[in-house]
Homo-oligomer: A and B are copies of this chain.
């Protein structure tokens, strides 16, 4: 990994997270010049990052207007959700890798953070935790192609829950998540990755329903 590609990865991850955590809400206009100043570079590398984000469907760039954060709603994302469900199940079947003690420790840590969240709920902290759980689960499959695809689809849909939280009960959502992550913990501690995949699929499906996707 060269220096240039490291900076690219940093900028890309930073902007992607800001979009998915609603630091940039849909409709926000991202100025190439401002980003270039912030990251202490010229517009050229910034444009590479924005082009990639556009390919990933997180922004849309139009000549003479600007680069605008795309909208995300459950209706247009229904198909993406559907696919994510299938892939989550698949991740438990396709070339799983052996579960190591370090994996369980990582999941333990996530469980503890979730319980802290039940005591003091916070939408953004919740979204971050959800993202970490996703990253952890994708790390459990050794199928690199599946990881890439799942990641891509996850980041496309990640914002929807955070956008819908005003219409939901935050504490209730956190409690549901806490129950889910404990179920996953139980399945993983027995080494049953297939069950982990099925649980994950079920949870995605239920959250889709709660979000009004029918």
With an 8 A cutoff between CB atoms, is A144 at the interface?
yes
Q: How far is the CA of A52 from the CA of B152 in the complex (A)?
A: 15
Identify whether the interface residues of A are mostly helix, strand, loop, or mixed: helix
Copies in the complex: 2
Interface flag for A82 (CB, 8 Å): yes
In the bound complex, do residue A83 and residue B145 qualify as a contact, i.e. CB atoms below 8 Å apart? Answer: yes
| A153 interface residue per 8 A CB criterion | yes
* Distance between Cα atoms of A94 and B51 in the complex (Å): 30
Q: Is A135 an interface residue (CB 8 A)?
A: no
> Cβ of A63: which chain B residues have Cβ within 8 Å of it?
2, 4
Size category, A interface = 20 to 34
A146 — which chain B residues lie within 8 A by C-beta? 79, 83
User: Is the C-beta of A38 less than 8 angstroms from some C-beta in chain B?
Assistant: no
| Min distance, Cβ A128 to any Cβ of chain B, angstroms | 24
Is residue A167 within 8 Å, beta carbon to beta carbon, of the partner chain? no
Asked whether any CB of chain B lies closer than 8 Å to the CB of A113, the reply is no
Measured CA separation A63–B7 after assembly (Å):
14
Residue ID in chain B nearest A90 by CB atoms? B86
A145–B149 CA distance with the chains assembled, in angstroms: 10
Asked if residues B80 and A145 are in contact (CB atoms below 8 Å), the reply is yes
Contact A79 B153 (CB under 8 A): no
Whether A37 is near chain B, meaning CB under 8 Å from some CB there, is no
Task: Tell me the nearest residue of chain B to A64, going by C-beta.
Answer: B2
**Restricting to A66-90, which residues have a CB under 8 Å from any CB of B?**
79-80, 82-83, 86, 90
CB distance from A73 to the nearest CB of B (A): 15
The 8 A-B pairs of least Cβ separation, nearest first, read A80-B145, A79-B143, A83-B145, A79-B145, A149-B149, A83-B146, A86-B90, A82-B94
Interchain residue pairs with CB less than 8 A apart (29):
A2-B62, A2-B63, A4-B63, A48-B48, A48-B51, A51-B52, A52-B55, A55-B55, A79-B95, A79-B142, A79-B143, A79-B144, A82-B94, A82-B143, A82-B145, A83-B90, A83-B94, A83-B143, A83-B145, A83-B146, A83-B149, A86-B86, A86-B90, A86-B94, A145-B153, A145-B156, A149-B149, A149-B152, A149-B153
